[in-house]
Amino acid sequence: MEKGQAGLDYGQGRIDRLFFKIFIPTLLGMIFNALITIVDGIFVGRGVGPDGIAAVNIIAPLFMVTTGVGLMFGIGASVVAGIAMSQKDYKRASGNVTAGFIASTVVIGCVVLTCLIVTEPVVRLLGSSDQLLDNTTGYLLYLLPGLVPFMWQSIGMMVIRLDGSPKYAMMCNIVPAVLNIVLDWWFVFPLGMGVRGAALATAIAGIIGGGMALTYFRRSYVIKFTSKIESGWKSVGAQARIGAAAFVTEVAMSVMMLTGNYVFMRSFGESGVAAYSISCYLFPLIFMINNAVAQSAQPIISYNYGGGAQRRVNKALKVSLGVAVVCGLIATTGIAVCARGIVGMFIPVDCEAGKIAVAGLPIFAMSAIFFALNIAFIGYWQSIKRAGLALALTLLRGVVFLVPLFVVMSWLFPAWGMWGAVPVSEMLTLIIIIIAFYVRERSGRRCVGN
């Protein structure tokens, strides 16, 4: 990359230094992003109680879908724009990104409109009981204004990082997260707004984060919003295919929440859903940490893949896998060892929901190490435009394995089986991934030998 054309030299810089220049701010930004949901849960759990935290968890899948659309177009646009940048076609890169922003805005705008028109059927579809209906409906309606801007924030942080400004991308997450913490406390406690206050705080934070992302492109290095997006429109389908695995990852978390809500409701009632909600608050944090690993490697891999520098691609993959192992081990150990303290942040540990959660979190925590490696491999295949493989593996871990495991394991082991569904699903997927990678590498070496 020629000097002055972007903030980072993806083509010539040392891979490990490039990775960590992107990773540190990306990690901090994504952790703060995940804190938005976690802080919601803490304040609602303490200010409203188990019913409040259960209501937020029921609406959370909608939030995940919004994030998923943003990540889908953010990753897809970053890959196609990164390849265009490696070929010095900066107009095409800008057109791709502009089209991605417009397409994702239309998609989430339709979701918001649907939720406004048929609010109660939506919350019941998400799993709300009559007891939770008032809280789930209130949370949804107050959250809706922030969904489109929050999607802008999700897509923006990917593209801004590609443009060479990982620190600004980090601030697009940190500033809204800090604001959300302050507003959460104010709305839930002094103003006594309950779950509605938590949703309003999240919506305002999303508006600020989305506004920061849009504002960046007034002074960006290479990528600009443009009205000349004819070629960009042609890339929208490719963007969606490349980023589909990220979208499906978020949808898979929604499936995990929805299926788990039904299973825990059947086994333990509202207390079970409240207990399970705590793991659902933690999982986005686990995802964000490991997604930071994958997305820090993504611009390096995509740029060098577009330029034919396979050795640099392989080096970036090795670095990301090593960091993923460390992050996964820390997450697994931390959640297992600190389960009681974690539960105590949300709800009293001696209530029924608290006891269920303290017993189950150490089992759930085993998913983190497998998940870390899965996301690193899936991110690699996205970055080299192997979208079909990335999508298939994401469906395996998030739907094909997970849903039956929830049902079967809760039936075989009623006391703890539902907590083990996620770890077993991630473990089985990692086995498939290792086999697929080994077969692909052998095939590639055989082709070179011939």
Residue with tokens 């105590």: 344
Q: Which of 105, 73, 85, 129 is nearest to 241 (CA)?
A: 73
113: confidence class by pLDDT, cuts 50, 70, 90: very high
Mean pLDDT of 295-318: 87
CA dist 281 to 180, 278, 361, Å? 16, 5, 12
pLDDT in tens, 130-183: 888 898 999 999 999 999 999 999 899 889 988 888 889 889 988 998 999 899
Closest CA to 70 of 210, 185, 170, 176: 210
Is residue 291 in a domain?
Answer: yes
Number of independent structural domains in the chain: 1
Average pLDDT in the 13-40 region?
82
- Tell whether the model's pLDDT for residue 442 goes beyond 70: no
User: What is the predicted pLDDT for the residue at 445?
Assistant: 46
Confidence of residue 448 (pLDDT cuts 50, 70, 90): very low
Question: Is residue 2 situated within a structural domain?
Answer: no
pLDDT band at 108 (very low <50, low <70, confident <90, very high): very high
Q: Report which of residues 9 and 363 the model is more confident about.
A: 363
Which carries the bigger pLDDT value, residue 199 or residue 271?
A: 199
Task: Assess if residue 252 is contained within a domain.
Answer: yes
Average of per-residue pLDDT across 109-126: 92
Axis-axis angle for helices 367-383, 50-86 (nearest 10): 30
To the nearest whole percent, how much of the chain has pLDDT over 70? 95
State residue 85's pLDDT score: 86
CA distances from 409 to 352, 394, 419, 441 (A): 22, 21, 9, 35
pLDDT at 234: 76
Burial of residue 344 (CB within 10 Å: 0-12, 13-18, 19+) is: middle
pLDDT over threshold 90, residue 27: no
Distance CA 407, CA 51 (A): 24
pLDDT score at 142: 95
Mean pLDDT (the chain) is 85
User: 342-399 pLDDT, tens per residue?
Assistant: 999 888 888 888 899 999 999 999 999 999 999 999 989 888 878 788 888 888 888 8
For residue 401, which phi and psi values (nearest 5 degrees)? -80, -40
Residue with the two structure tokens 């690699």: 380
Q: CA 221, CA 217: separation in Å to the nearest integer?
A: 8
| The two structure tokens encoding residue 338 | 């600190």
Q: How confident is residue 3, by pLDDT bands cut at 50, 70 and 90? A: very low
pLDDT value at position 441?
A: 63
DSSP 397: I
The whole-number pLDDT of residue 231 equals: 65
- Among 25-39, 58-72, 124-138, 171-185, the range scoring the smallest mean pLDDT is 25-39
Tens of pLDDT, residue by residue over 407-441, are 899 888 887 888 999 999 999 999 999 998 888 76
- Report the C-alpha gap between 372 and 192 in whole angstroms: 39
pLDDT at 317: 92
Question: Residue 79 falls within a domain, yes or no?
Answer: yes
pLDDT of residue 270: 78
Confirm whether 6 is domain-assigned: no
Region 445-450: what's the mean pLDDT? Answer: 42
- What are the tens digits of pLDDT across the range 228-249? 776 667 778 888 888 877 787 7
- Is residue 7 domain-resident? no
Q: Is residue 9 part of a domain?
A: no
pLDDT band at residue 126 using 50, 70 and 90 as cut-offs: confident
pLDDT category at 26 given cuts 50, 70, 90 is: confident
Range of the domain at 356: 15-449
